[in-house]
Amino acid sequence: MQEFKKEKKIYDILIVGGGPSGIMAALSARKVSKDLSIGILDSNTSLGKKLKLTGGGRCNFTNNEYIGDFFDKIVTNDKFLYSALYSFTNEDLKDLVISLGLDYIVEEDNYNKVYIGSGRSEDFIVALTDKLIDSDVAIYYNKKILDIQRIKLGYKTQNTLVDNPTDKLEHIKSDFQNTCYFLQASNGQVFYSRSVILASGGKSFKNTGSDGSVLDILSNMGYNIIDPRPGLVPINLRESWFTSMAGISFKNAVLEFDFGSCKVKNKSKHSRSRSICGDIIITHKGIGGPASLKMSSLINRLDFKDENIMKLDLMGDIPSQDLYQKILLSPKVVLATVLRRYLPKRYVAKVIDELDEKYPDLKFNFKKDKLANMSKKDFEYVLLYTKNIHLRVDGIMGIEAATITSGGVSVKNVNPSTMESKIDKGIYFAGEMLDVDAFTGGYNLQIAFSTGYLAGISAAENLQSDK
Residue 210: predicted pLDDT: 81
Query: What length is written for the chain?
Result: 467
Q: What are φ and ψ of residue 355, in 5° steps?
A: -65, -45
We report the CATH number of the domain holding residue 302 as 2.40.30
| Rounded distance between C-alpha atoms, residue 296 and residue 224, angstroms | 24
| 339/368 same-domain check | yes
Report the candidate in 125, 184, 119, 115 with the shortest Cα–Cα distance to residue 151: 184
Q: What are φ and ψ of residue 397, in 5° steps?
A: -65, 160
Final residue of a structural domain among 346, 369, 397: 397
We report the CATH number of the domain holding residue 166 as 3.50.50.60
Cα dihedral 39, 44, 46, 52, rounded to 10, equals: -120
Q: In terms of DSSP H, where are the helices of 153-309?
A: 213-220, 240-243, 290-299
3-state SS, residue 153 = coil
Residue 167: predicted pLDDT: 44
pTM, rounded to two decimals: 0.89
| Rounded distance between C-alpha atoms, residue 50 and residue 70, angstroms | 22
Q: Sign (positive/negative) of CA torsion 144, 147, 150, 155?
A: negative
Report the candidate in 408, 420, 405 with the shortest Cα–Cα distance to residue 461: 420
Residue 251 belongs to a domain: yes
| 61/129 same-domain check | yes
Residue 149 belongs to a domain: yes
Mean pLDDT by 10 residues, the chain (467 residues): 55 98 99 97 95 94 98 97 99 99 97 97 98 98 95 49 42 52 92 97 84 95 96 96 97 91 51 87 97 95 82 96 95 97 97 94 94 96 97 94 95 99 98 97 98 99 86
| Contacts of the segment 323-330: beta carbons below 8 A, 24+ positions apart | 323/386, 323/387, 324/376, 324/379, 327/371, 327/374, 327/379, 328/371, 330/371
Domain limits for position 258: 234-316+390-397
Residue 259: predicted pLDDT: 81
Residue 139 belongs to a domain: yes
Final residue of a structural domain among 397, 418, 436: 397
Final residue of a structural domain among 346, 362, 397: 397
| Tally of domains in the chain | 3
| Rounded distance between C-alpha atoms, residue 179 and residue 151, angstroms | 6
Residue 302: predicted pLDDT: 84
Pairing of strands 38-41, 273-282: unpaired
Residue 432: predicted pLDDT: 97
Report the candidate in 314, 302, 313 with the shortest Cα–Cα distance to residue 394: 302
- Under 8 Å CB-to-CB from 430, ≥6 apart: which residues? 21, 22, 24, 25, 197, 198, 199, 419, 448, 451, 452, 454, 455, 456
Residue 258: predicted pLDDT: 86
Residue 10: predicted pLDDT: 86
Residue 5 belongs to a domain: no
| 90/112 same-domain check | yes
We report the CATH number of the domain holding residue 347 as 1.10.8
Q: Are the CB atoms for 140 and 193 separated by under 8 Å?
A: no
Sheet holding 113-116, edge to edge: 60-63, 113-116, 104-107
Q: What are φ and ψ of residue 223, in 5° steps?
A: -85, 150
